[in-house]
Amino acid sequence: MTGKTQSTDQALAGKVALITGGGRGIGRAIALAYADADADIAVVARTQPQLDEVVGAVESLGRRAAGFACDVTSYDAVKEMVSMFRSKFDRLDILVNNAGGILDQGSIVEGDPEVWISGIELNLYSAYFVSRELLPIMIESGGGKVINMSSNQGRTPGPGVYRVGKAALWMFTQSLSMEVWQHDIDVNELIPGPVETYLTRGLMKVGETATFAASERVKPPKDVAPLALWLVTQPEGGPTGQSFSLVRRPI
């Protein structure tokens, strides 16, 4: 049984999932949750040791796994990664565009233009590059699910390119959903809320109240996985072009 819970056991049997930013944090938690539900897993990250650890953890659950070191902000690197993916897997059913992050919270007037360019590349272009190259495989596979990992900051004005990138990702989610629904592909946004990860450690601590809202409890990455699993186990013709949030206050 490999320790699976009855509610998720074999829910993704026969499926292949690819998760970007899958070497740690939320991406790693989702990869393991999908593997626990019997999916085969491809993880994409920049750091090989992290990839190796996740691949080993997936294989310990009895599933096939592969890790691909790739800078998803580079279109050429993404194309090379997809070529390697095709050499190891013959289908794709689930894509989680999880790569992203806060590079700077500088204002529009005072922020570094190069940082702003990098921020848009990380939080928007990466999802576009990966989706553009992998969606043909998903179409060939007969359909699937795409999750774009976003943030409630993409709904609220304030300083920093992160907000702008995530706001653009929300429109990308809606636009892509209108393009691919006829291929039985659902595209949705997942907003995890405050999560303690490698990138937020020192700013957030699991169980504590988030500094930006008294209603928000800081979660561990594994608490995001159930919603990510629910989204990809919805029946054909399920929700698409929608936003699903673990934030407790309106966004």
Question: Catalytic amino acids?
Answer: 162
Q: Nearest CA to 189 among 222, 145, 157, 223?
A: 145
Residue environment code for 115-135, b if the CB has 16+ CB neighbours within 10 A, otherwise e: ebebbbbbbbbbbbbbbebbb
Contact present, 66 and 88 (Cβ < 8 Å): yes
Q: 78: helix, coil or strand? A: helix
Distance in angstroms between the alpha carbons of the first and the last residue of the chain: 40
Q: How far apart are CA 204 and CA 208, in angstroms?
A: 7
Q: How far apart are CA 216 and CA 191, in angstroms?
A: 13
Cβ-Cβ contacts under 8 Å for 197 (sequence gap 6 or more): 24, 25, 26, 221
Q: 13: helix, coil or strand? A: coil
Q: Which residues pair with 204 in a beta bridge?
A: 201
For the chain, where are the E strands, in sequence order? 16-20, 40-45, 65-69, 94-97, 144-149, 185-191, 243-245
Q: 201: exposed, middle or buried (C-beta count within 10 Å: 0-12, 13-18, 19+)?
A: exposed
